[in-house]
Structure 1
Amino acid sequence: MLEKIGRGELSIIESDAVLPSSSATHLPKSFHSPVRAAAIPSDSQPNLRPPAIQASAMPQHIHIHTPPSVSPNLDQPIEDDDDIKFSISDISLPRLIMTAVCAAVIIGSLLYIADRIISITTGVITGQESIEDIITPITGDIVAGYTVSDEYGIRPFHPVTGEPNVPHNGVDLAAPVGTPIYAVGKAGDKTTVKCWWDEDGGGWVVNQTAESYPGYVFQSLHMSENGCKEGESAAGEVIAYSGNSGLGTGEHYDFRVKINGEYVPPATKYLESAITGQPLKE
């Protein structure tokens, strides 16, 4: 074949054309693909050129599909930096105030507790108070057969009102309505009892003082309206009965202690005396 090409008997034709379908039906399958190079006799070369493709066979219109573009909403005003800063400050300001209030309450409570620890420790060292005055029950403890349902301290929120960081100035016992409450004091002490209604949610309140504890007030909240014995009583006598008055989630006994007008963590020994009637030891 190379010799024939060299003598001019064969020639090489370059073509990208595709034979029309009418002619392709009479040709072998090998002719259905584009012909890049073919060895064709020179004497028949003019007759084997593919017919010209008619212009009408070419596509008249080319459609190019493009995805729709998202155009910005020019009618919507764009906030400037001042508006953004104002909205952020407006949202965060209440949180900052709440955080500051909570921090102040926590710091105040810590300072108060530290002051009480120093005061009690000083009293223990000087012999004015005993180590038992420091011990106060916590939630889950058992005192005189009753479970402590809430301890002294700051509550995350009030169980009824939902107010956050509310101080609870007493110790709650899960005692049923009608549990007798006794006058607190040493054996032979005279106590003074006063009953009154607390409009801030404490219900019927019983205050008692004892001769051996000047400056102390032993307080009982949410008491029963009936059975409160005002006036003088001896330590160990029944002075009132627990109830479910005032603001609360259920019947319980709320015991508190004040020293010189300030609430302090109630010592377990005072709570035991109030719930059992046993006189305090010397």
Structure 2
Amino acid sequence: MLHLAAKQLLTGDRTQTQISADAIAPAFDELSPDLRYKLLQRRAVKGWLFNSVLYLATAVLLAPVAVPQLNAAADGTISQVRGLKQKADTVAEFISPDFAAPVQKGENIAGHTVTSGYGFRDTANLPEGASADHKGVDLATEIGTPIKAIGAKGSKTKVRCWTDSKGGGNVAEMEPQSFPNLKFQALHLSECKTGIYNAGETIVLSGDTGIGAPHLDWRQRDKTTGKHQHPQKSYLLWALTGREPNANFTRIDILRNAIITQESAGDAAIVNRDSSALGLAQILPENLAGAGKGWDFEALGKDLTPDEFLADPDAQTKIINHQLSNIYETQLKDGHSADEATRRTAAVWYSGNADLANDTKPQHWNGDPAKDYPSIKDYSDQVLNRVHELRKTQIND
């Protein structure tokens, strides 16, 4: 449907222009990344204008009148319009223009800061040999950060590895079956093995080979022409997480920030005086305990001491995202709405049990009435309210 929408935008009626009968509009994925992004933004604006006109027309035509039957009909029609708009908003969220946007310097992609953007750059403070015309984007990554095969579930990605003697170090070229017009490159790798990989499978590990400190140089190219393209967030995010970007990623970021505000007000070094819970989202120490297991090892592939955890806000964010994603997606799969999934995820975070999301009993640490905490329902409702407020802020920005 995304391809069809793009073609409709590109081939709309233009009475003043003659188009030859054999002219063929390009498919959406054949367009440049910048044009894809502009088309999605343009569609979002058109959708907003359409909704505005629809609401205005509804208000004028269905204004309450003296006849009760007409009032009832008006209420029913307005309800239907609202339902259609809610469905349209859901679809618009799933195909988020933000994920089609080109990656820019300073952004954070899956917990990694983009330290150098695409195109011409100042090399004064870069290592000797760094190119002025950068063909990719650089991300600050620790040695051993996994890069995943992107593509639809069940699809394959072909990987070819070699060493670039001009400063790129170990390089992987990836050709996902799901995107036959594109190929991707990852440079400065610590490990790379040529082969065929399943979508979502770890294919290479970032490193510090070639020029510079440990980082990932990510590139996107047209498979037919070989021309470099400005890398897009969607593919890079997919490669770093192993999951297709969609509205859930945006919701998880917002949900994480809502829980952090609720738990610590953004203080990464705080320790709860009662429970000894740690950091931004007040994670209990036992959730980090044990060599080769725990939330830290699940999300990062390594163990952290409590002190290391408190000193590393980026690691905290990755661990929180990993856990929230698992909990939230489970609630969605169980058939709960987005709002109810948010409340139930908050209940799990607070109590360990999603089914207690409506429990109104006041909470006390170890049964001590002097150590009073919100009920699980209050906590869940407060998190949901914060999510709504943060989403409004995001829309207004």
| TM-score of the two chains, using structure 2 as the length reference | 0.37
1:222-261 correspondence runs (5 A): 222-224=188-190, 226=191, 228-248=192-212, 250-260=213-223, 261=226
Q: Is the 8 A contact 2:33 2:231 kept in 1?
A: no
Q: Distance in 2 between matches of 1:144 and 1:172?
A: 13
Amino acid at match of 1:256: R
Amino acid at match of 1:257: Q
Q: Is the 8 A contact 1:148 1:173 kept in 2?
A: yes
Residues 171-190 of structure 1: CA distance to partner in whole angstroms, max 9, x if unpaired? 11111101111112122211
Q: Distance in 2 between matches of 1:168 and 1:242?
A: 18
Q: Which runs of 5+ in 2 are unaligned?
A: 1-31, 44-94, 247-397
Residues 221-280 of structure 1: CA distance to partner in whole angstroms, max 9, x if unpaired? 0001x3x232111111000100000112x1111111001311111100111111111135
Q: Distance in 2 between matches of 1:212 and 1:147?
A: 27
**In the alignment, what sits opposite 1:175?**
141
Cα pair distance change 1:268/1:117, threshold 3 Å:
closer
Q: Distance in 2 between matches of 1:275 and 1:264?
A: 19
Cα pair distance change 1:179/1:256, threshold 3 Å:
same
Q: Distance in 2 between matches of 1:172 and 1:279?
A: 21
1:207 maps to 2:170 = no
What is the CA distance between 1:122 and its match in structure 2? 7.2
More helix as a share of residues: 2
Cα pair distance change 1:214/1:176, threshold 3 Å:
same
Residues 51-94 of structure 1: CA distance to partner in whole angstroms, max 9, x if unpaired? xxxxxxxxxxxxxxxxxxxxxxxxxxxxxxxxxxxxxxxxxxxx
| TM-score of the two chains, using structure 1 as the length reference | 0.51
Q: CA RMSD in A?
A: 2.9
What is the CA distance between 1:195 and its match in structure 2? 0.7
Question: Residue 161 of structure 1 is aligned with which of 120, 124, 128?
Answer: 128
Q: Distance in 2 between matches of 1:188 and 1:172?
A: 29
Cα pair distance change 1:117/1:142, threshold 3 Å:
closer
Q: Distance in 1 between matches of 2:129 and 2:160?
A: 31
Q: Is the 8 A contact 1:187 1:279 kept in 2?
A: no
Amino acid at match of 2:211: L
Q: Distance in 2 between matches of 1:134 and 1:167?
A: 23
What is the CA distance between 1:146 and its match in structure 2? 1.2
Q: Is the 8 A contact 1:205 1:222 kept in 2?
A: yes
Cα pair distance change 1:175/1:200, threshold 3 Å:
same
**In the alignment, what sits opposite 2:185?**
219
Of all paired residues, the percent bearing the same amino acid is: 38
| Number of aligned residues | 162
Q: Is the 8 A contact 2:193 2:204 kept in 1?
A: yes
1:146 maps to 2:112 = yes
1:1-282 correspondence runs (5 A): 117=34, 131=97, 134-157=100-123, 159-161=126-128, 166-224=132-190, 226=191, 228-248=192-212, 250-260=213-223, 261-279=226-244
Q: Distance in 2 between matches of 1:162 and 1:241?
A: 23
3-state SS, counterpart of residue 195 of structure 1: strand
Q: Distance in 2 between matches of 1:231 and 1:132?
A: 32
Q: Distance in 1 between matches of 2:177 and 2:161?
A: 19
More strand as a share of residues: 1
Q: Is the 8 A contact 2:33 2:100 kept in 1?
A: no
Residues 164-214 of structure 1: CA distance to partner in whole angstroms, max 9, x if unpaired? x81111111111101111112122211101110011210000111111211
Q: Whose relative contact order is higher, 1 or 2, with alpha carbons under 8 Å and at least 6 apart?
A: 1
